[in-house]
Structure 1
Amino acid sequence: METTSTSNPTIGKPKRKSYVPKLTSTLSQEISDHTGIILEGYQSDELAGKISDLIFFPLYVLKWIGYSILGMIGLDIALIYFEDAWTMIIIYLTLGMALALINGLLVGMLVLIWRIRSDVQAIMRLSLELTAQVMDDYRKKSTKGKVALAFQQVFRAVVFVVIVPLATQSIAKRLPVMGGIFSRIFVGIIGLTVKKSNQLVETAYLKEPQNLPETQSTASEMEAEELRSETSHKIERGFSKVIGVSTRIVALPIWLIFGLVLTLSILLLSMFNAILG
């Protein structure tokens, strides 16, 4: 499995902003106390660049939110196009435009949450690679005083201590206006995915050649490669399902707000038509 090179994992670097600071601090301290490894030391410009290359959704924010807002405003105007009571039209346009703006923003966010799924899946793959590297670094250290580490435990720490701060930093740089909102959405989806992926990440760890049971480690290189490939496909499908569930959970409040604002828009239009009627 390809890993990300780092300079010195035991030397701390300046911390990036985290949207889950208490969790990040707790996980970092836990790994440091148990292993002596400072996870912040794995943050590097190379890793930051790789993460930035994996996050595509900021490229579509203005496009999809802009299209959604224009579509809602266009619909708002079309609904009153044939009316001739200009006073009421101005009142409706003022209120209707505000609701259309909110609805357009919400629709754009829902589209982008759907688009974020592939970015999260790529980040999960990178997190698995980095976790395997951390485990390998720990394995190479002196065995004196070593404690058993669960791969899931290290994976969760790597995601929130190393990956999430770099990812949110990249999003904030590319989205100066709405970076905070989408960073929180992104972190929310990642958090739910990590929580529901314990079995998947353990399977990923066990598929590595050095971690195979002795009965399998003697298999031919071709058989081992086939096993890794098959397991990799299962993990990809598993992550896809978990991320799908996570995005739906994160999107649910936005759907509820969208439904409420849409209902208000319909009520406003009904009241407008009743007055003119």
Structure 2
Amino acid sequence: MPRNPFWSGVFPAVTTQFNADNSLNLPATQQSIERLLRAGVHGLIMLGTCGENCSLLPEEKRAVLAAAKEVAGAKVPIISGVSEYTTALASQYAKDAQKIGIDGLMVLPGMVYKSDTRETLTHFRTVARASDLPIMIYNNPIVYGVDIKPETFGELAGEKTIVAIKESSDDPRRITDLHNLHGDRFTLFCGVDDLVLESAALGIDGWVSGLTDVFPEESVVLWDLLQAGRFAEARGLYRWFTPLLHLDTKIKLVQYIKIGQQVVGLGSEKVRPPRLELDGAERAEIIAMYETALKNRPQLGKLNAAQ
């Protein structure tokens, strides 16, 4: 059983859908959420990287959260990314998310500025105290240039609302380090799609996933197999999935995931500038990867029947 059922399972990083004129397409975003819920995901991450958080205006972010709450209700936890340029803006956003009825926050370091350890800890503590919502700290030093080391999390253990860690350092050894240093103090999530099997073997509670937007059923079945210790079966599904899971680690992960949604009929490839939709040989290559995956798609019924 997970240590904290609220923070466990597959939490897709939901994409934000746009119209052709770059305006928000809230009905399409809600349709994506409904489809994920039907597939059995355990929670939703709104306005993470895949949700193009930093490409939305403040009022648009609040609208997306309200739309998610409208369709998901209390079916699963709704977590919002907190990706702001200043601590004050992040704190205000946390307060607003609580008013909207969001269930938790995934807090990033301040954007653009690469803070040192003292500044980083002050940012997280201040945001944590701005609302009553439980918080997942998102550690992705590769992308954001700010690294919260396993030992540093001990300095946040006194903040009662900081309950979870999304570990995206690309180093699965940190899962064991976090267990050894902090025991059960923090719930641990894998934040790198193509490390979920390895991380599950080391002991995690959940998976924040981008490719779940494209193949939600496969993601849920993979997670269930891992949690049941059925690693031989999980490896087969993982090997089929891994070429696509690698896309989650690329600079253009948003474009790669959104075009996958379009290929399988679960969304649009439309992104907001400075991101642009794929074109030319790159677009053809990524589409071919998804088409190959569809051609070789595993029969999930057999895996479910064996449970």
Which structure features the higher share of helix residues?
1
More relative contact order, 1 or 2 (CA 8 Å, 6+ apart) = 1
The TM tier, using the shorter chain, reads under 0.3
TM score, norm. by length of structure 1: 0.25
Q: TM-score of the superposition, structure 2-length normalised?
A: 0.23
If each structure's strand is expressed as a fraction of its own residues, which one has the higher value?
2
Larger Rg: 1
